[in-house]
Amino acid sequence: MKIIMLGAPGAGKGTQAKMISEKYGLPHVSTGDIFRANIKNGTELGKEAKKYMDQGQLVPDELTVKILLDRVAQPDCKNGYVLDGFPRTIPQAEVLDKALTELGDKVDFAINVDVPDENIINRMSGRRACVTCGATYHVVYAPTKVEGVCDKCGSNLILRDDDKPETVKARLEVYHKQTQPLIEYYDKKGVLKEVDGTVDMHEVFNSIVSILS
Ligand code: ADP
Ligand code: ADP
Ligand code: ZN
């Protein structure tokens, strides 16, 4: 099963992708996580990506597409995956479709987690991330047992630089301009599914499970 998560920054794509990944045993592939791991390790890719991420802009398609195609060619992705944060532009979607078509394959579901802009700033300013294991929390909606400490690995949590309100505004603009057109793109392909992302995260997940089952 090949699933794509669509939605604004902070809509809950990562949260839902992780739950899908656990329930269905599919790898969770997040281009944002791959970029952040590269930044943390000081790689050339990380240095290049950071320039764009800090501004709330998209990393160029050429670079992004290459790392994504490399990732989904790994053996663990053979039976499917959940893509979180990719594609984010029409050209990225076209490259993915072409690669899948060459393998006689296709995207099964594109799930749009719908959350209006008004809710997003609140979500992002409360998001806390673990740079060691990638776990995500929220100070109100998904708190850790001990404040500021990852439940899964014990590392300290951070507020991502790009989750500060100034950058979130830029990211929302980028989303509406470059990413939102993908909703229509996948609708035309007949694989689009919409879920209300404003309700409790377990309720959102229940809606997704009924779509996938
Ligand atoms: P969010 O959790 O807000 O959806 P991500 O972790 O997916 O954010 O992405 C963080 C940043 O990484 C983006 O703002 C962008 O700069 C970069 N990025 C991630 N995925 C892509 C992509 N598919 N294309 C271009 N840039 C990307
Ligand atoms: P995205 O990957 O789309 O950027 P995340 O999954 O990281 O979004 O979620 C953004 C923030 O909102 C996180 O702090 C997360 O814990 C929280 N969150 C996710 N889903 C919900 C929900 N349904 N209700 C309230 N908060 C949520
Ligand atoms: Zn952790």
Condensed to tens digits (0 to 9), the pLDDT of residues 76-131 reads: 999 999 999 999 999 999 999 999 999 999 999 999 999 999 999 889 999 999 98
Residue 183 in any domain: the answer is yes
10-55, pLDDT tens digit by residue? 999 999 999 999 999 999 999 999 999 999 999 999 999 999 999 9
User: What type of residue is 89?
Assistant: T
- Give the per-residue pLDDT at 131: 85
Residue 56 in any domain: the answer is yes
Residue 185 in any domain: the answer is yes
Q: What is the mean pLDDT of residues 177-205?
A: 98
Residue 149 in any domain: the answer is no
Contact in structure between 34 and 67 (CB atoms under 8 Å):
yes
Q: Residue 43 is part of a domain; what is its CATH number? A: 3.40.50.300
Domain count, the chain: 1
- Residue-wise burial string across 48-73, b where 16 or more C-beta atoms lie within 10 A, e elsewhere: bbbebbeebbbbebeebbebbeebbe
What percentage of the chain has pLDDT greater than the value 90?
96
- Give the per-residue pLDDT at 45: 96
Q: Which of 138, 140, 160, 207 to mutate to test the pocket of ligand 2 (most atoms within 8 A of CB)?
A: 138
Q: Tell me the residue range of the domain where 74 lies.
A: 2-115+171-212
Which residues are CB-contacts of 149 (< 8 A; sequence separation ≥ 6)? Answer: 155, 156, 157
Residue 90 in any domain: the answer is yes
Pocket of ligand 2 (CB under 6 A): 7, 9-15, 123, 126-127, 136-138, 141-142, 197, 200-201, 204
User: What type of residue is 102?
Assistant: E
Percent of residues in the chain assigned helix, strand, coil, to nearest 5: 50, 15, 35
Residue 104 in any domain: the answer is yes
Contact in structure between 211 and 193 (CB atoms under 8 Å):
yes
Residue 126 in any domain: the answer is no
